[in-house]
Amino acid sequence: MLAARLKCPIRLIWLKKQARQTAPMGILFFTAVIDLIGFGLIIPILPFVTPKFGGNHFDIALLIACYSICAGICGPFWGKLSDRFGRKPILLICLAGGSLSYLIMAFSTNLEMLYASRIAAGIMAGNFGIASAMVADMTSVQNRAKGMGLIGAAFGIGLVIGPFIGGFLSGDAADHRLPGFVASGLSFAALLAGTFFLRESLPKEKRQQHHAQRQKQSKQSVLTLLKNTRNTLLVLQYFIHNSCVSLSTYLFPLWVAARLEWGPKETGLTFGAVGILMAIIQGRMIGPLIKRFNELPLLFGCVTLMLAGYLFSAVAEGQQQMLAAFFMTLAGATCCIPILSSLLSKRTPLEVRGRMMGTSTAASAWGRTFGPVAAAVILSIGSFDITWLLGALLCGFYLSWIFSELRNPTPEVEEKAEV
């Protein structure tokens, strides 16, 4: 009887604790999805809307790139502000700016306004880095990979559901207005949810506790910070990884439009189907997979699958082979971001974690700039088959770093485990 009486209060305490941990993660998951939906939503529309405004293939690549360039410049800035003023207020500012940028897209009547909307969205694109920092704040070292897997699932869902929503709402007429209004509304909904339900993961006491260290670190350049934390090559992988992913998401709509005569609706539906599988892998499987294989060996396997997907794309013929190659590429890519984020958080001191996550966001943004622009250049002088091989080459650099880490891993920062 006594054991039963004791067990009930203990279980209630445990349930309350689980609820406190789960609710913020759910809000974070939602906001991260919204952030990537905005980036992905325009992907299936661009190849069809841009010509209506007098643009060409380079304009398609540049519209993707200008978003990423602005995100690359502003990412470390937002991360640094979150270290100083807290994660929540900076996250909400980014969501508000994102909502406004999508309204600009919805009201666009020419190519210049479309560029302006993507530039505004890029400037305010600090959500993913801040969300990653919040996950690192709220999870223990042992559960870090699982938490990053949840945000990684949001990355996969947003990046692929975005094109799905964009393609479906755009329809055969390739209309950009309704997708823009929907994206703006979703960002505003995330803003409201964050305002009322999201708690601060880096409270004032912790910010004051690390004030001296942060002041010292803030005087360092990004390159010095990367060198001191030994994260230079790790952050470079964010650039390489996102170069690969953005190359795929830029090239696929053009590829299927040219060879299969697909429009935005078919392209968006394909992205949506792949996105469901990616969400299952990241949301349900990433934690158990990391526990079984460890982070670096699993990362090696995922990048190898990406490499196989690019090589298969270069020789694929017909709808079935093209779709299979595309799935292989994104299935391999889907586990990489949570693994990289878990490694980065474990190798970064708490007092500069926000700035480091912002720097990784910037590296990701520069990768999303390089991927489509490089693909556009190669496609203009070559073929789709040759352009897919660029992704294979990038995967080769990716694998060489993982192999070196497997032989001589970078040490992690000692951190007190938090429950």
DSSP 68-109: HHHHHHHHHHHHHHHHHH-HHHHHHHHHHHHHHHHHHHHT--
Cα separations in angstroms, 189 against 30, 103, 150, 259: 10, 14, 20, 39
pLDDT number for residue 202 = 74
Residue 304 sits in a domain whose CATH number is: 1.20.1250.20
| pLDDT, block means (10 residues), the chain with 419 residues | 47 41 65 70 75 82 83 80 84 90 89 90 82 77 67 69 78 79 85 82 68 56 79 91 90 90 82 74 71 85 94 93 92 82 82 77 84 89 92 94 89 57
pLDDT number for residue 355 = 77
Q: Is residue 389 part of a domain?
A: yes
pLDDT number for residue 394 = 95
Residue 198 near residue 88, CB atoms below 8 Å:
yes
Determine the Cα–Cα distance for residues 200 and 189; give it in Å rounded to an integer.
Answer: 19
Q: How many domains does the chain have?
A: 1
Q: Is residue 153 part of a domain?
A: yes
pLDDT number for residue 35 = 67
- Geometric angle at alpha carbon 263, from 261 and 269, rounded to 5°: 115
Domain of residue 123 covers 24-197+228-407
Which residues fall within 8 angstroms of residue 178, CB to CB, at 6 or more apart? Answer: 106, 169, 170
pLDDT number for residue 396 = 94
Q: Is residue 416 part of a domain?
A: no
Q: Is residue 96 part of a domain?
A: yes
Q: Is residue 13 part of a domain?
A: no
pLDDT, one tens digit per residue, over 208-230 is: 665 555 555 555 677 787 888 88
pLDDT number for residue 309 = 95
Q: Any alpha helices (H) in 107-126, and if so which ranges?
A: 111-123
Determine the Cα–Cα distance for residues 155 and 36; give it in Å rounded to an integer.
Answer: 6
Q: Is residue 271 part of a domain?
A: yes
Residue 367 in tokens? 């990768």
First-to-last C-alpha distance (Å) of the chain: 29
With 0.75 as the threshold, say if the pTM is over it. no
Q: Is residue 223 part of a domain?
A: no
Residue 142 in tokens? 């042992």
Q: Is residue 296 part of a domain?
A: yes
pLDDT number for residue 145 = 63
